[in-house]
Amino acid sequence: MQERRVALVTGSTGSLGTAICYELAAAGFDLALHCRGAHGLMKAQQLALELSHYGGIYLPVTAELPDAGQIAHMFAEIKETFGRLDVLVNNAGVNRDQLLIRMGQEEFEQVLDVNLKAAFLCLQHGAKMMIRQRYGRIINIASVAGQLGTYGQANYAASKAALIGLTKTAARELASRQITVNAVAPGFIDAGLTSSLTPEQRESFIAQIPLGRPGSPRDVALAVGFLAGDKADYITGQVLNVNGGLLMP
């Protein structure tokens, strides 16, 4: 009997994270559901209960990002429970929007800490487990903001652009161990970090999308599911754009 594969999704209780968890659970993965704090743990436990009908093991794990000690403990817990890690989805992210000339150093650093530094630390730990297996899939959730730049998001755009650079470097370094590293770059997704936009801002964004509508969390989850599966064996170092045509390189 083939051993079930294991995936860790950071930020599992957010809109994108939950959609990704459902997609991977449906594909037969056991899951480590990352969350933060007591409230996050309750949400992760509820998510695990909702996923239970897929018949896998769904383990809530807590860690404050980018606390290196807590991240190390999280990966140790995953290793103790599952004994392996096949897929890492670096999905957790925050935004602290402000015009460049008004943005404080704390606002800049906080976004880079969660969106980039935490992803780097998780990638390091995940890669060490995958190297021993000579197999793995690492998927970083980037953003069209890191490709185009976005008004009022110098910190967020910088973190996502750097995440793409990290993706490409890790892909080169880990390829010899049969570990692929790719990024998914959502455009305007009708959930999560876009919920704070005003109606005017929302309409302005949608007007720029050739398909004429925002994407959904499931659109992103389907892309992650593809990169996590066997059909993406020969794809690494790539950015899969899920943006309705907003960016056409």
pLDDT at 227 over 90: yes
Active-site annotation, residues: 156
pLDDT in tens, 166-204: 999 999 999 999 999 999 999 999 876 566 667 787 788
Spatial distance between the Cα atoms of 176 and 194, rounded to a whole number of angstroms: 38
Of 8-17, 18-27, 194-203, where does mean pLDDT reach its minimum? 194-203
Q: What is the pLDDT of residue 191?
A: 77
What secondary structure does DSSP assign to the chain, as a single string?
-PPPPEEEETTTTSHHHHHHHHHHHHTT-EEEEEE-HHHHHHHHHHHHHHHGGG-S-EEEEE--TT-HHHHHHHHHHHHHHHS---EEEE-------B-GGG--HHHHHHHHIIIIIHHHHHHHHHHHHHHHHT-EEEEEE--THHHH--TTBHHHHHHHHHHHHHHHHHHHHHGGGTEEEEEEEE-SBSSGGGGGS-HHHHHHHHHT-TTSS-B-HHHHHHHHHHHHSGGGTT--S-EEEESTTS---
Domain ranges of the chain: 6-241
pLDDT in tens, 81-110: 999 999 999 999 999 989 999 999 999 999
Nearest partner of 215 among 179, 237, 240, 181, judged by Cα: 240
pLDDT in tens, 139-148: 999 999 999 9
Give the pLDDT band (50/70/90) at residue 1. very low
Looking at the DSSP bridge assignments, the partners of residue 186 are: 242
Superfamily of chain region 6-241: NAD(P)-binding Rossmann-like Domain (3.40.50.720)
